[in-house]
Amino acid sequence: MEEIINILVVEDDEVDRMAVSRALKKAGISAEMAVAVDCKSALKALLGDDLSENDNSSSEATAHANTALSEPSFDCVLLDYRLPDGDGLALVQSVRGAGLKVPLVVLTGQGDEQTAVDLMKAGASDYLPKSKLSPETISRSVRNAVRLYRAQKEAASAQERLRESEERYRLVLEGSNDGIWDWDLMTHAIYCNDRLYEITGLSADEADVSYDLVCQLLHPADRMRISQAVAAHLEDNVELDVEFRLLHRSGEYRYCMARGKAWRDAQGRPFRMSGVISDITERKRAEESLRFLAEASALLSASLDYEKTLDRLARLAVPFLADLCIVDIVEDGVVRRMGVAHADPHWKEQMQKLEDFYSPDLNGTHPAMKVIRTGDAALVSEVTEEELMAATRNAEHWQIVREMGFKSYMIVPLLVRGRALGAISLVSTQQSRCYRPTDLALAEELARRAALSLENGQLYRETNETSENLRQAILILGEQQQQLRTLQQLTNLLNQRLTDLPGLLREMVEAVAGAIPGAQFCFIMLNNPQCDGLVLTVMAGMDTEKLRLENALSPKDGLFSRVLSTGKAQLIQGRSSELSKLEEVPAAIYAAAIESVQSGRLGVLAIGHWDDENAFDEEDRNLLVAVGEQAAIAIDNARMIKALEEQEKRLEDQNEMLAHKNKELENQRQQLQLNNLQLLEAARLKSQFLATMSHELRTPMNAIIGFSQLLLRQRQSSLVPKQADMIQRILSNGKHLLALINEILDLSKIEAGRLELKLEAFNLMTLVRSTVDELRPLADERHLALYIHDNVQNANVINDSVRLRQILVNLLSNGIKFTQTGSVEVEVREISPDRLAIAVKDSGIGIAEAELEHIFEEFRQIDQTITRKYAGTGLGLAITKSLVQLMQGTITVESKLGQGSTFRIELPRAVKATGQGFHAIGKVRTLLGASSLADSTLTQSVQKRRPGRRLY
Ligand code: ADP
């Protein structure tokens, strides 16, 4: 169906309009007609109300006209040349001046060539004289004009679209993140947009981009692949879609993706190639980061052994994330280096040094320690020398770190619930890799995952340790229970055998061989102190006859001697040289000392296996040692029991012997008692004899004395002087003998307890003076002075005057007898109102200290030789002492050899009557025991009583 043509008919004449309409109709043109009757209304219809008024060609009007034209309008204008308000030429000029391209077909009245030329010049599309108006002419003219107009309009529209498209394309290219390249395969020149320059970091002024340059910038590892892909596209038209790394001016490789297409000539030969290149570094990095994190997660979750995992993590981080990665964790307040990885193998030595000498201190200034303490990550994009210096401890430390060339670092804490378990330090030594916040985010994510894994690992380890401890404890308890049961059985056995040591030992080795599963045989060697070495005592088990232990029992270097000397259990395995001394070598022997605290080391207990050198373990050792201890106690007990039994036996024997001896002693005692009785009887008889004899002797002696005196007293003596002298000597010796007899009589009375004091009141001084006077002749005879010192107020005493006189005589006569020159003095004084003292002091020969205690004994004389200088019986002081004691007094002596003696007696003023005589039964034995001596001494005494005087 034919298209409808919108036609504006500008005609003031109705008839003409009708004619046009008919002609169009006849020509079969489907027209939609609008009518304008003058120029003004025509312009209004074409340009709109506003502009039709303003018929000028201002730019503003043009702009608006352009806008109007862009809207659907008339396809053609049929205008009459003559119009009421102007001619068609003006209208044409106005319309064209307004920029409208609408076809203008001018209907002219008269055929005027010049008007037609003017109209055509002014922009009319055609002109048609009214006279020639016919359906054909109008149809041809309108159709051609409309076709041309529409074609022009279409072309303009296409042009506009193209322009717009180009504009958009330009905008897209300029705004695109992609680089555009256009490679002339003939010249090898490559056109690039700014973005491509940006990707490489080069500038258009610096370098002309060429294929060679691109090849140089490609990562060496990608070069071959890319050139192959380009060749494949050019030669086989294989789609070009490649990824590669391109060196940026900074030294960093950027990840790029390129697509391109070749332009080919009619023969299909490529002459040009163009395409785009995109920087996909960030995406690639993100992908790699994700892949890295996924890999790290897989690694971290692969094992709960966090020590190994963290070390592997450090290795994983190098070189992807760092050139040096260190993982430190804090355990029990101490920093432990869990992982160290570095890209440069030459750093090994430096890292070792850093670890050995500069191990981090939790409280130190090291940045990683600060991160652990605070829990805040640290990022230093570019490390300065000052920062390095601050983080190092000394010049050497600084030097090492400096040499390693740290450029940038970041340290992230291993945080779990706000608590830093440690830190990961990541160091870059590449100028091109200075850490940025995106890197820190990745590192923090890595640390977060590592921290979780670390916590899990630590928890797992703690749990494991706890359960392992529990398992161990249960195991140990089980073992201990088993050991205790075995030991208990053994102890029971041993206790039953306590008195039978060989049986006990046998029982013991059999029990041990039975209780320890790996023990094929067991033996005991006991230390023999006599030969100072071990002696195989007992053995039990398999093939024990093959054991020739004597060879292995070297006292010094033998295995068993060593066990004995050190007390340490020893396991000898695998036919060692020590065991090779044995005839048949067992594969394993475990030897432990038989030892306890109280009994010491008694020997060695050993178990063995002939073939399996791993037959014994720690458990067996413990049991062996425990059995050794029990054995030591049992052996010790057995030995003690044996010793006790022996001791008991010895005691029994001794008891028997003692009983025997007791019996003998009893016999002896009875004998002695009998002897004593006999002695007492003998003493009694002797005393009686002495008393009787003295009495019997006194009677004739008195007669001799009496007759001698009678003879001497004759007035006219018929005696010749010699006879008179002899009678005088008879009288003198008789008197002496009588005195002697009296002394012996006194002594015998004293010993027999028959001497009694006859107490009376008398004046002591009177007695002392008369006695001294009595003895004065003796003193004079020896030219000795004899003094009395009377220091007594009251000289009245109650005593036996005869016996007191006897005492004084004894002491004075001894003083005179044993004094060569000087004096003898008697001093009497009152010690107290009730007591008196009499001292007899001489300047004589004195008495040696050793003799002082003996002089009061009967018959004791210091010089007891027959040829002694001083006469005497040795009875005087004994009788004196006995009499003083009878008088309830005391006698003492002070003397020094050559310096005289002082005998001092102290007596009560009034001696009490005891009613009993002095009876010294203890003396009886002395007297009787010495009876034979006494007899001989008595005889001698009698013979030598007066020196220089003979008895005959
Ligand atoms: P004797 O009859 O020998 O004098 P005594 O009993 O009176 O016996 O004395 C014992 C001994 O004591 C004497 O033999 C003498 O050796 C020693 N003796 C006693 N008195 C003295 C004295 N005054 N000076 C030195 N020796 C004395």
Q: What DSSP string runs through 561-579?
A: HHHHHH---EEEESS-TTG
pLDDT at 940 over 60: no
Residues 755, 691: Cα–Cα separation, whole Å: 12
Query: Are residues 374 and 354 in contact, defined by beta-carbon separation less than 8 angstroms?
Result: no
- HSE, side-chain direction, 13 A CA sphere, residue 88: 30
Cα-to-centroid distance, 861 and ligand 1 (Å): 6
At residue 71, the pLDDT reads: 43
Q: What is the DSSP string of 140-151?
A: HHHHHHHHHHHH
pLDDT at 367 over 60: yes
* pLDDT per residue as tens digits for the range 805-832: 999 999 999 999 999 999 999 999 999 9
d(CA 856, CA 134): 211
> Model confidence over 415-448: pLDDT tens digits?
988 888 899 999 998 877 889 898 899 999 999 9
CA of 934 to the centre of ligand 1 (A): 17
Q: Over 60: is that where the pLDDT of 69 sits? A: no
CA of 475 to the centre of ligand 1 (A): 99
- What's the pLDDT score for residue 947? 35
72 C-alpha vs ligand 1 centroid, how far in Å? 189
In this structure, are residues 565 and 595 in contact, taking their beta carbons and an 8 Å threshold? Answer: no
Confidence of residue 98 (pLDDT cuts 50, 70, 90): confident
Confidence of residue 59 (pLDDT cuts 50, 70, 90): very low
Q: What is the pLDDT of residue 528?
A: 81
Q: Cβ–Cβ contacts within 10 Å for residue 52, how many?
A: 18
Q: Whose CA is nearest to atom 20 of ligand 1?
A: 814
Query: Which of the four pLDDT bands, split at 50, 70 and 90, describes residue 553?
Result: low
Pocket test for ligand 1, best of 747, 816, 840, 861 (most atoms within 8 A of CB): 861
Sign of CA dihedral 310, 312, 316, 318: positive
Rounded to whole angstroms, the Cα distance separating 679 from 813 reads 34
What is the C-alpha to C-alpha distance for residues 49 and 47, in angstroms, rounded to an integer? Answer: 7
Q: How far is CA 530 from the centre of its chain?
A: 46
* Separation between Cα atoms, residue 727 and residue 739, nearest integer Å: 18
Q: Whose CA is nearest to atom 23 of ligand 1?
A: 815
Report the candidate in 927, 937, 938 with the shortest Cα–Cα distance to residue 685. 927
Name the residue at shortest CA distance from atom 7 of ligand 1: 876
Q: What is the pLDDT of residues 398-411, one digit of tens each?
A: 888 888 888 899 99
Query: Residue 941's pLDDT is what?
Result: 34
Mutate which of 736, 809, 818, 869 for ligand 1? The one with the most ligand atoms within 8 Å of its CB, which is 818
Write the secondary structure of 731-761 as one string of H (helix), E (strand) and C (coil): HHHHHHHHHHHHHHHHHHHHHHCCECCCCEE
Q: Does residue 933 have a pLDDT over 50?
A: no
pLDDT for residue 580: 58
Q: Which one-letter amino acid corresponds to residue 687?
A: S
Task: Select from 381, 477, 478 the least CA-distant residue to 434.
Answer: 381
Q: Convert the pLDDT of each residue in 253-295 to its tens digit.
A: 889 999 989 999 888 899 999 888 888 888 888 888 888 889 8
In this predicted structure, what is the pLDDT of residue 710?
A: 85
* 793 alpha carbon – ligand 1 mean position (Å): 31
Is residue 178 within 8 A of residue 276, CB to CB? The reply is yes
By alpha-carbon position, which residue is closest to atom 2 of ligand 1?
872
Both structure tokens of 269: 């030969």
Q: Tell me the per-residue pLDDT of 681-733, one tens digit each, with 9 for 90 and over.
A: 877 777 777 777 777 788 888 888 888 888 888 766 677 888 888 888 888 88
Q: Give the residue carrying structure tokens 């109209």.
A: 119
Confidence band of 360 (pLDDT split at 50, 70, 90)? confident
Specify the ligand 1 atom closest to the Cα of 871: 3
Rounded distance, CA 786 to CA 799, Å? 25
Q: 573 alpha carbon to ligand 1 midpoint, in Å? A: 96
pLDDT per position as a tens digit, 24-38? 888 888 888 889 888
- CA 865, 869, 873, 876 torsion-angle sign: negative
CA of 416 to the centre of ligand 1 (A): 117
Pocket test for ligand 1, best of 855, 904, 937 (most atoms within 8 A of CB): 855
Q: What is the mean pLDDT of residues 750-766?
A: 88
Alpha carbons within 13 angstroms on the beta-carbon side of residue 315 total: 9
Confidence of residue 533 (pLDDT cuts 50, 70, 90): confident
- Closest protein CA for atom 11 of ligand 1: 861
pLDDT of residue 744: 79
Report which of residues 553 and 458 the model is more confident about: 458
Sheet holding 5-10, edge to edge: 31-36, 5-10, 76-80, 104-108, 126-129
Please tell me the predicted confidence (pLDDT) of residue 946.
34
Residue 931's pLDDT is 34
pLDDT in tens, 583-619: 567 888 888 988 878 778 888 888 988 888 888 888 8
Q: What is the pLDDT of residue 583?
A: 56
Give residue-wise pLDDT tens across range 841-885.
999 999 999 889 889 887 777 765 555 566 677 788 989 999 999
Model pLDDT, residue 313: 86
Report how far ligand 1's centroid is from the alpha carbon of 828 (Å). Answer: 21
Residues within 6 Å of ligand 1 by CB? 810, 814-815, 818, 842, 844-845, 847, 855, 860-862, 870, 872-878, 901
Question: Is the predicted pLDDT of residue 764 greater than 70, yes or no?
Answer: yes
- What order do you get walking across the sheet with 835-842 strand by strand? 785-791, 823-832, 835-842, 901-908, 890-895
In sequence order, which residues have a C-beta less than 8 Å from that of residue 841 and are 6 or more positions away?
815, 824, 825, 826, 827, 900, 901, 902, 903
β partners of residue 570: 591
